């Protein structure tokens, strides 16, 4: 064994120790070059990206990927998974002799769940490839101009980043898209791709690319092995679930698992999988057991993240949110905060409100010009926005030093907004995995970060659900914050026996908000729409969570208050009732057919 190899192995051992001692170690005690990366790429990482040493997940994954193995990576949010897969792929590609050419088509494919993540990975690629101009990065994604994409594909894209729907579209309809040299397929945020319902597309993509292994649902006729290279597939996410287990089965061959140590083996094969074809559980039980399922295990969260919850009665939610935001931005002028909502309408409403709401006139009668209540830059991001607006928001918020982003879960996964200091989950996230990804937008790469989860008194059991995944939260001291707001120039102190809803500051602010909304027909319409879709989203919680988030436990009048509406919109009540009835009817029917199917199987 030569000296260099021995040193690398020793360093790797050290790295492994670091990662398993339970400390919040982020960086490995080795260099990029010791992992086997070419000096030019190491220079690029250092000079262009500012990365001196690899993170632990990079130190573990890069040598294994360089060795050509299929890999499943499960590491906490913000630990550098993107470089962990891009660096070895580039390392391989730049060594091809003769050099690869555009006309040789696509060698590596990175599949991501959202457009924003697609852009983000593409931008990182551009930086990494600065000195390797013959390796061409590119992207295809929903919302973009198809013909322009076709033209780019015709010219040739060596490393292609794509969202699944648009990729499948090109695979079927763009004859000039050359992928016979494809060597790598990478699933970034694999579980989210599947959760978004792209399971069928992924199966089709794997079939069309001839990259499906002989996993449980392999259709021999669909597999056309076109690549002269050995295929290498990689799957990465901070959270994994049973669907990923299945994807791993059909796309990875004898994979190396990174970051799954201590996770439980899947006890039984599951009938559920992400596609349309159900596979025979008995035949595949052995295979399924090989891939580890962490679905019952703990999620990995950045150790330095301070996680809090705040218990707020439904009717006071909006005023509490406004108060906390004001408090946070006034306490620290340079702040970056992301607030998560459950629907696009809720984001629209809050964005318009925050951008227009002025201090009530009677509070500062001495000042002639009424001032904005919240005085910081606010952005919104959700799936119903125009593609260009989404792109601009994403890019601008990234660069801002101090700003607020109101978003749906479109920003929950993978997005790397530098220096986000706090995550507020105003609407609860649902699955614990979603909680983990949302809070993962802060406390990245060892930096400080806070998170705050809003819960109503009837939703407090959600904390236990999080506990099951090893996530525990401490309570936020709300009263201190509320007491700090001046009312008619005076500081006030709430008496202990008064409930939170009766806090003078909250009452005052609520009244001011309601008058503001009442006087603005446009705002009122936004508030009503947001109310309707919020209730609809609330009824959509699935599985165990339906027990916690029950719409019938809510007072809809109080929900209306949380949108600053004086009254509950009357028509909504009726349509909601109809919807709930319809949903129950559908569920009954679905349950029946599922049971029938199962009965036929056994």
Name the site residues for ligand ATP (rule: CB under 6 A): 51, 54-55, 58, 75, 77-83, 238, 414, 416, 440, 444-445
Closer CB to ligand ATP, 11 or 483, in the complex:
11
Phi and psi, residue 72, nearest 5°: -120, 115
- SS3 for 283-318, per residue? HHHHHHHHCECCCCCCCCCCCCEEEEEEECCHHHHH
Q: How many helices (H) and strands (E) does the chain have?
A: 22, 16
For residue 407, what are the β-bridge partners?
340, 381
Pairing of strands 422-425, 232-237: unpaired
- Give me the helices (H) in 37-78, please: 39-47, 56-66
State both tokens at 195.
Answer: 């959760």
Nearer to ligand ATP, 75 or 125 (CB): 75
What are 314's two structure tokens? Answer: 């439904």
Yes or no: say if 70 and 256 are a contact pair by the CB < 8 Å rule. Answer: yes
Whichever of 51 and 435 has its CB closer to ligand ATP, that residue is: 51
Residue among 336 and 444 whose Cβ is closer to ligand ATP: 444
Q: Looking at beta carbons only, is 442 or 456 nearer to ligand ATP?
A: 442
- In the complex, the smallest distance separating the C-beta of residue 110 from ligand ATP, rounded to whole angstroms, is 12
Q: Which is nearer to ligand ATP, 105 or 414 (CB)?
A: 414
Q: What whole-number distance in Å separates Cα of residue 485 and Cα of residue 561?
A: 21
CB of 473 to ligand ATP, least distance (A): 20
Question: Nearest 5°: phi and psi at 27?
Answer: -95, 150
Least distance to ligand ATP, CB of residue 537, Å = 24
- Collapsing DSSP to helix, strand or coil, 376 comes out as coil
With beta carbons less than 8 A apart as the criterion, state whether 348 and 380 touch.
Answer: yes
Q: Which is nearer to ligand ATP, 127 or 584 (CB)?
A: 127
Starting from the edge strand earliest in sequence, which strands make up the sheet with 71-74, in order?
137-140, 159-162, 108-111, 184-188, 232-237, 71-74, 256-258
Q: Locate tokens 């990729």: which residue?
A: 167
% helix, strand, coil for the chain, step of 5: 50, 10, 40
What angle do helix axes 81-95 and 56-66 make, rounded to 10 degrees? 30
Least distance from ligand ATP to the Cβ atom of residue 54, Å: 5
CB of 471 to ligand ATP, least distance (A): 16
Least gap, CB of 224 to ligand ATP (angstroms): 32
Q: At closest approach, how far in Å is the CB of 63 from ligand ATP? A: 15
Between 166 and 300, whose beta carbon lies closer to ligand ATP? 300
**Taking a C-beta distance cutoff of 8 angstroms, is the pair 122, 163 a contact?**
no
Contacts of 438 (CB under 8 A, 6+ apart): 340, 409, 412, 423, 425, 429, 451
Q: Looking at beta carbons only, is 27 or 454 nearer to ligand ATP?
A: 27
CB closer to ligand ATP, 54 vs 313: 54
Distance CA 45, CA 82 (A): 13
In the complex, the smallest distance separating the C-beta of residue 51 from ligand ATP, rounded to whole angstroms, is: 4
């Amino acid at each position: 064994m030569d000296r260099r190899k021995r040193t690398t192995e020793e360093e790797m051992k050290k790295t492994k120790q670091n990662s398993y001692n339970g400390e919040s170690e982020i960086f490995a005690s080795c260099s990029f070059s010791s992992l086997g990366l070419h000096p030019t790429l190491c220079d690029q990482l250092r000079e262009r990206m500012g990365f001196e040493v690899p993170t632990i997940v990079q130190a573990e994954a890069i040598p294994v990927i360089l060795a050509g193995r299929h890999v499943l990576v499960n590491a906490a949010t913000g630990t550098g998974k993107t470089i962990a897969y891009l660096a070895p792929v580039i390392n391989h590609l730049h060594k091809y002799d003769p050099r690869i050419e555009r006309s040789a088509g696509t060698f590596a494919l990175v599949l991501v769940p959202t457009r924003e993540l697609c852009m983000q990975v593409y931008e990182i690629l551009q930086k990494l490839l600065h000195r390797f101009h013959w390796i061409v990065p590119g992207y295809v994604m929903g919302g973009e101009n198809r013909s322009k994409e076709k033209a780019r594909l015709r010219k040739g894209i060596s490393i292609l980043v794509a969202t699944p729907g648009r990729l499948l579209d090109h695979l079927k309809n763009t004859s000039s898209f050359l992928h016979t040299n494809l060597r790598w397929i990478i699933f970034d945020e694999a579980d989210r791709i599947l959760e978004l319902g792209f399971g069928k597309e992924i199966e089709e993509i794997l079939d069309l690319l001839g990259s499906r292994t002989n996993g449980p649902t392999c259709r021999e006729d669909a597999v056309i092995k076109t690549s002269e290279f050995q295929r290498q597939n990689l799957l990465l996410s901070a959270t994994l679930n049973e669907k990923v287990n299945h994807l791993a089965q059909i796309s990875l061959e004898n994979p190396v698992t990174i970051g799954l140590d201590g996770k439980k083996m899947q006890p039984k094969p599951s009938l559920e999988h992400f596609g349309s074809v159900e596979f025979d559980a008995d035949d595949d039980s052995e295979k399924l057991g090989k891939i580890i399922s962490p679905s019952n295990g703990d999620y990995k969260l950045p150790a330095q993240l301070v996680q809090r919850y705040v218990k707020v009665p439904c009717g006071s939610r909006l005023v509490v949110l406004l108060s906390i935001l004001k408090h946070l931005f006034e306490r620290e002028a340079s702040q970056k905060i992301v607030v998560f909502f459950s629907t696009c309408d809720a984001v629209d409403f809050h964005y318009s409100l925050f951008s227009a709401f002025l201090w009530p006139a009677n509070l500062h009668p001495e000042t002639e010009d009424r001032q904005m209540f919240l005085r910081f830059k606010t952005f919104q991001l959700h799936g119903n926005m125009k593609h260009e607006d989404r792109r601009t928001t994403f890019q601008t918020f990234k660069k801002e030093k101090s700003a607020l982003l109101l978003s749906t879960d479109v920003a929950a996964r993978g997005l790397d907004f530098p220096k986000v200091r706090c995550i507020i989950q105003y609407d609860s996230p649902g699955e614990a995995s979603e909680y983990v990804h949302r809070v993962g937008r802060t406390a990245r790469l060892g930096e400080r970060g806070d998170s705050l989860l809003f819960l109503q008194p009837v939703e407090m059991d959600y904390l236990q659900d999080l506990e099951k995944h090893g996530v525990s939260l401490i309570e936020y001291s709300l009263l201190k914050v509320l007491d700090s707001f001046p009312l008619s120039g005076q500081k006030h102190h709430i008496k202990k026996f008064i409930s939170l809803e009766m806090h003078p500051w909250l009452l005052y602010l609520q009244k001011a908000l309601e008058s503001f909304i009442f006087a603005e027909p446009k705002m009122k319409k936004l508030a009503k729409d947001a109310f309707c879709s919020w209730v609809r989203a609330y009824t959509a919680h699935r599985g165990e969570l339906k027990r916690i988030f029950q719409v019938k436990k809510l007072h809809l009048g109080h929900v209306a208050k949380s949108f600053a509406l004086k009254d509950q919109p009357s028509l909504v009540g009726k349509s909601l009732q109809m919807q709930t009835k319809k949903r129950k009817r559908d569920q009954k029917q679905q349950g029946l057919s599922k049971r029938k199917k199962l009965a036929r199987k056994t």
